[in-house]
Amino acid sequence: MTTRAAVLVESGRPAPYAESRPLEVAELRLDPPGPGELLVRVGAAGLCHSDLSVINGSRRRPLPMALGHEAAGEVVEAGEGSGFAPGDRVVLAFVPACGECERCVSGRPALCGPGAAANGAGTLLGGGRRFAHADGTRPHHHLGVSAFSEYTVVSAKSAVRVDADLPMEIAALFGCAVLTGAGAALYSANIVPGDTVAVFGLGGVGLAALLAARAAGAARIVAVDVVDHKRDLALRLGASGAVAGGPDAVEAVRELTGGGAEKVIDTTGVAAVLAQAYAATRAGGTTVTVGLPDPSAPLTLPALSLVAEERTLRGSYLGSSVPRRDVPRFVGMYRSGVLPVDALLSHRLTLSEVNAGFDRLAAGDAVRQVITF
């Protein structure tokens, strides 16, 4: 069959992307799913900052690549042994979990060894690529998902079944923003009732973390961002205070939290801001980061403070979540009203607007933009 898909042809092209067009929408051939794979009709796909990191070249991936890693869709054809059936509504997670490796059996599927290897190589978990241009060139898969496409083929290990009546554009958010943000708050930071919390960076992931902190019973939540309308949104979503990002942010957070927050979550992907998040954490507290800085960026911290102040600094990939357990869990929280993630959805786009969408994301003018098909 064929599908229209947005393929990243070159990274590092100059902004505005609406003019330099690093993503080309092309008609591709799509091979049928192999054993353990699914052909999925994509219903909605979100634009995430880690897509932007591939587009601007700070995160190196093999090119060309059919981009997009946050999506929901419907199974059209299920390969042998996949455990799915046509008509199943699925959320796609951006780390396929083999279920067999040491990390998977330790309950840490976000760190799946074969999953990470396939994602690094730009293939599906079972190896190989399913998209092809007319000349036979095969674009790579993006984190096993490649969702900026009408149809995609994924490993069944990338898919989680959800309720058939969950709207696609809401379901898509659970694949990255909600798993990462809510997972960081509930699992990595282990926010408990009464905690004081600060969140640095109020994109889709940061706001999902804020919503989860609120659901977990945090007593005070301070939201930090350089963009004022994102701070306003955070206040509407339950933050008790908002602070402008910049050199004075640490002092302001410390003031609003009586000497620093107990749990601080950094989502910015900027090493200097992570150092600020650490400084805004009180003694005995936990600093969690989900951001992906440039690989060459060092982190400088006062080393003594880790021991003398019994601090914890924790990295969190995919929110340290277990997608098969947590997508249904977080969907349940959404449906019960305690995790209103629909508030993250700021724009709906068509596939051909994808480059302009990344301009809007880079400018800080969007929270979560979703391409609908």
Q: Residue 66, Cα to own-chain centre: how many angstroms?
A: 17
Q: How many residues lie near Zn ion (CB under 5 A)?
A: 7
The verdict on 237 binding Zn ion (CB under 5 A) reads no
Nearer to Zn ion, 205 or 216 (CB): 205
For the bound state, the minimum distance from the C-beta of residue 300 to Zn ion, rounded and expressed in Å, comes to: 27
Using rule CB under 5 A, residue 50 touches Zn ion: yes
**Among the residue ranges 19-27, 112-120, 224-232, 239-247, the one whose residues contact Zn ion (CB under 5 A):** 112-120
C-alpha 108/C-alpha 120 separation (Å) is 18
Distance CA(29)–CA(62), nearest Å, equals 19
CB 303 to Zn ion: min, Å:
31
Q: CA torsion angle for 256, 257, 258, 264 (degrees, to 10)?
A: -140
Contact flag: residue 223 with Zn ion (CB under 5 A): no
Which of 5, 26, 28, 101 is close enough to bind Zn ion by CB under 5 A?
101
**Of 35-43, 71-79, 98-106, 342-350, which part binds Zn ion (CB under 5 A)?**
98-106
Looking at 50-58, 189-197, 304-312, 358-366, which segment touches Zn ion (CB under 5 A)? 50-58
Q: Which stretch binds Zn ion (CB under 5 A): 91-99, 274-282, 314-322, 330-338?
A: 91-99
Query: Which CB, 67 or 112, lies closer to Zn ion?
Result: 112
Among residues 44, 45, 95, 112, the one that binds Zn ion under rule CB under 5 A? 112
For the chain, how big is the Rg over CA atoms in Å? 20
Lateral strand order in the sheet of 261-266: 241-244, 220-225, 196-200, 261-266, 281-289, 312-315
Cα separation, 193 vs 232, whole angstroms: 24
Based on the shown chain and the rule CB under 5 A, indicate whether residue 48 belongs to the binding site for Zn ion. Answer: yes
- Left, alpha or beta for 319 (phi > 0: left; psi -120 to 50: alpha)? left
Q: Tell me which stretch binds Zn ion (CB under 5 A): 18-26, 43-51, 117-125, 149-157.
A: 43-51
Nearest distance, CB of residue 114 and Zn ion, angstroms: 5
Query: Can you tell me the distance from the alpha carbon of 88 to that of 78, in angstroms, rounded to the nearest whole number?
Result: 10
Would you say 48 or 78 has its CB closer to Zn ion?
A: 48
* Exposure letters 256-273 (e unless 16+ CB within 10 A, then b): bbeebbbbbbbbbbbbeb
CB closer to Zn ion out of 73 and 260: 73
Nearer to Zn ion, 93 or 112 (CB): 112
Strand ranges for the chain from DSSP E: 2-8, 23-30, 37-47, 65-66, 71-78, 89-92, 131-132, 140-141, 151-155, 159-162, 196-200, 220-225, 241-244, 261-266, 281-289, 312-315, 345-349, 368-372
Number of H helices, E strands in the chain: 13, 18
Among 75, 104, 170, 208, binds Zn ion (CB under 5 A): 104
Stretch near Zn ion under the rule CB under 5 A, chosen from 55-63, 92-100, 252-260, 336-344: 92-100
Of the pair 45, 153, the CB lying nearest Zn ion is at 45
Q: Show the site string, 164-203: x = touches Zn ion by CB under 5 A, - = not.
A: ------------x---------------------------
Altogether, the residues listed in the chain come to a count of 373
Q: Is residue 98 close enough to count as binding Zn ion by CB under 5 A?
A: yes
Candidates 62, 80, 64; CA nearest to 118 is 62
Binding residues (CB under 5 A) for Zn ion: these are 48, 50, 98, 101, 104, 112, 176
